[in-house]
């Protein structure tokens, strides 16, 4: 097998290349150059090749690979038509010492028999160059803000704690773009891995498992390369021992979806019962077939890990599913109760002594203190905090506060309200609990301003109760697994 034949070197230089060659640049792939520029990659170490142009986006172009003035290259991005791929690869490999090649070229194994033949040849050539590793073909490649590399200029420059391994370049890009725009998500390393002719998902997973900057890993998986039938076993081994939460989204869950996988990465489909066994035997977290859901869920994990990191505290997962809902709307309160209960959360009903206590703290004329706390008019007053704290003390793990946007954020009322929110957040988080603000979304200037303000202050802000509750349940379930594995 390819992977056993060769010396599996560290992937470090793939994510932090000291120099990069793009072969060849053109308007169609200008995003690569723009991505490197945006991340602040050392442009003196970015070598562009174009047989036609002297310069591209302000950077010098070399006519051929020979002209590149270095002998050792950490990363080559190969962007050429599939019918030129094999010949070019041979030429490139014979001329320089290359650590990593990203094969961008699509239309190979996933497309037709000719493409499959190309992959077969690709694999043969790579076997002859055991010091050169490659990702792809049919992939967008690497996003590594620490290494100052990215393939789109829209990706955030700030690094974060989320690692990505995606068998779809477009999903990978959208994950980064939507995630950073919606929730300010930041990423440690993102890999659009494609058809996996050489480097396998299991290898990247092993790397991210050891990477100190990565706290949570998202995988979009379609299947195993026909050249690496052993990868299934390896993947299972790695996943069994993985130390970090892995959010696993599988493309081709349905039989009909599997036919679509064939024309995408050309991967071998895997059966449902095998997957059920994998989900049981490993701590990985299954995610529904929705990128939005994945973004919602990883947001909570990422935020939760960041919080503990910052406090230099050992992470503690929620110990129960008891939730408290705070809002100002009877109707929403009832829908919230129904929805949370149906999803599997608990919404303890405050009565008897508890209700009496809450009533003593803040007697109300309308609304309700029974959970949901339906608190009309109580927003900027101190009582909001007091009654909320007392309610939280009823062994609550998740506090959900539904809010509207404020038009006047300069006024004393808003300032009082915001102070209350900060105080509740501190109180909740000091007890290893979770505080989420629900701000329903539609295009609106005041919503955008308020949302940005909350995100900047590290509030967890979800657009719907459902998204927050589903994400919480995944974190809770993962915590349960961690507790159980420690016991056994």
Residues that bind a second copy (CB under 8 A): 106-107, 110-111, 166-172, 174, 178, 181-182, 220, 222, 249, 251-254, 256-257, 259-261, 263-265, 288-292, 328-335, 337-339, 341-342, 347, 349, 365-366, 368, 370, 372, 374, 440-444, 447-448, 451, 464, 466
Write the Ramachandran bin of 458: left for phi over 0, alpha for psi from -120 to 50, otherwise beta: left
Q: Smallest gap, in angstroms, from Cβ of residue 435 to a second copy?
A: 21
Q: Smallest gap, in angstroms, from Cβ of residue 428 to a second copy?
A: 22
Which helix (H) or strand (E) segment holds residue 171: the answer is helix 169-183
**Tokens read off for 485:** 């594995």
Q: Smallest gap, in angstroms, from Cβ of residue 69 to a second copy?
A: 34
Q: Smallest gap, in angstroms, from Cβ of residue 113 to a second copy?
A: 14
Q: Smallest gap, in angstroms, from Cβ of residue 400 to a second copy?
A: 14
DSSP 3-state assignment of 457?
coil
Q: Smallest gap, in angstroms, from Cβ of residue 188 to a second copy?
A: 21
Backbone angles phi, psi at 399, to 5 degrees: -110, 120
**Tokens read off for 196:** 């996996």
Q: Smallest gap, in angstroms, from Cβ of residue 185 to a second copy?
A: 11
**Tokens read off for 164:** 């990505």
Cβ-based nearer residue to a second copy, 106 or 191: 106
Cβ-based nearer residue to a second copy, 130 or 254: 254
Contact residues for 477 (Cβ-Cβ < 8 A; gap 6+): 285
Measure Cα distances from 207 to 18, 154, 155, 214, 399 in Å.
19, 26, 22, 10, 35
Q: Smallest gap, in angstroms, from Cβ of residue 211 to a second copy?
A: 24
Count Cβ atoms below 10 Å from residue 180 Cβ, excluding itself: 18
Q: Smallest gap, in angstroms, from Cβ of residue 239 to a second copy?
A: 21
Contact residues for 363 (Cβ-Cβ < 8 A; gap 6+): none
Cβ-based nearer residue to a second copy, 432 or 471: 471
Which helix (H) or strand (E) segment holds residue 281: the answer is helix 272-281
Nearest to 88 by CA among 24, 35, 140: 24
Cβ-based nearer residue to a second copy, 226 or 376: 376
Cβ-based nearer residue to a second copy, 178 or 317: 178
Count Cβ atoms below 10 Å from residue 148 Cβ, excluding itself: 18
Cβ-based nearer residue to a second copy, 58 or 331: 331
Backbone angles phi, psi at 46, to 5 degrees: -105, 110
Cβ-based nearer residue to a second copy, 98 or 201: 201
Contacts of residues 419-424 at CB distance under 8 Å and 24 or more positions apart, as own/partner, are: 420/379, 420/380, 420/381, 420/382, 420/384, 420/385, 421/454, 421/459, 422/457, 423/385, 424/384, 424/385, 424/388, 424/389, 424/399
Nearest to 293 by CA among 475, 467, 459: 467
Nearest to 22 by CA among 123, 141, 153: 141
Cβ-based nearer residue to a second copy, 43 or 364: 364
Cβ-based nearer residue to a second copy, 331 or 352: 331
Alpha-carbon distance 41 to 17, whole Å?
10
Cβ-based nearer residue to a second copy, 240 or 448: 448
Q: Smallest gap, in angstroms, from Cβ of residue 156 to a second copy?
A: 13
């Amino acid at each position: 097998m390819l992977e056993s034949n060769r010396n599996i070197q560290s992937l470090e230089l793939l994510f932090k290349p000291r120099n990069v060659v793009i072969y060849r640049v053109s308007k169609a792939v200008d995003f690569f150059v723009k991505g490197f520029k945006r991340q602040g990659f050392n442009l003196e170490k970015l070598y562009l090749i174009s047989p036609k142009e002297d310069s591209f986006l302000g950077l010098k172009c070399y006519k051929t690979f020979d002209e590149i003035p270095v002998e050792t290259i950490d990363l080559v991005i190969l962007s050429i038509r599939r019918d030129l791929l094999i010949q070019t690869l041979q030429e490139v490999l014979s001329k320089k010492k290359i650590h990593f090649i990203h094969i961008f070229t699509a239309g190979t194994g996933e497309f037709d028999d000719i493409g499959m033949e190309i992959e077969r040849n690709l694999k043969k050539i790579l076997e002859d160059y055991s010091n050169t590793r490659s990702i792809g073909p049919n992939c967008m490649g690497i996003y590594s803000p620490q290494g100052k590399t990215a393939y789109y200029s829209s990706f955030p420059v700030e690094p974060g704690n989320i690692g990505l391994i995606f068998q779809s370049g477009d999903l990978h890009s959208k994950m980064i773009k939507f995630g950073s725009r919606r929730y300010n998500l930041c990423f440690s390393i993102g890999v659009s891995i494609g058809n996996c002719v050489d480097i396998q998902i299991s290898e990247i997973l092993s790397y991210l498992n050891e990477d100190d900057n990565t706290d949570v890993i998202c995988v979009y998986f379609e299947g195993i390369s026909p050249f690496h039938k052993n990868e299934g076993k390896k993947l299972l081994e790695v996943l069994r021992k993985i130390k970090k939460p892995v959010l696993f989204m599988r493309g081709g869950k349905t039989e009909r979806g599997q036919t679509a996988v064939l024309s995408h990465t050309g991967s071998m489909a895997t059966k449902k019962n095998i997957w059920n066994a994998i989900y049981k035997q490993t701590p990985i977290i299954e995610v529904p077939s929705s990128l939005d859901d994945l973004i919602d869920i990883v947001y909570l994990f990422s935020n939760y890990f960041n919080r503990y990191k910052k406090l230099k505290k050992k992470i503690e997962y929620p110990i129960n599913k008891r939730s408290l809902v705070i809002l100002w709307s009877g109707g929403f309160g009832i829908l919230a109760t129904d929805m949370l209960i149906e999803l599997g959360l608990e919404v303890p009903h405050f009565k008897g002594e508890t209700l009496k206590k809450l009533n003593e703290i803040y007697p109300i004329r309308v609304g309700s203190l029974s959970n949901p706390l339906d608190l009309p008019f109580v927003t900027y007053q101190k009582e909001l905090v007091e009654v909320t704290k007392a309610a939280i003390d009823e062994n609550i793990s998740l506090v959900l506060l539904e809010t509207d946007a404020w038009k006047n954020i300069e006024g004393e009322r808003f300032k009082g309200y915001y102070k209350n929110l900060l105080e509740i957040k501190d109180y909740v988080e000091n007890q290893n609990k979770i505080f989420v603000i629900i701000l329903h979304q539609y295009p609106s200037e005041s919503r955008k301003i308020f949302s940005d303000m909350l995100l900047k202050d590290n509030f967890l802000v979800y657009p719907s109760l459902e998204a927050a509750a589903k994400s919480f349940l995944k974190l809770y379930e993962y915590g349960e697994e961690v507790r159980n594995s420690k016991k056994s």
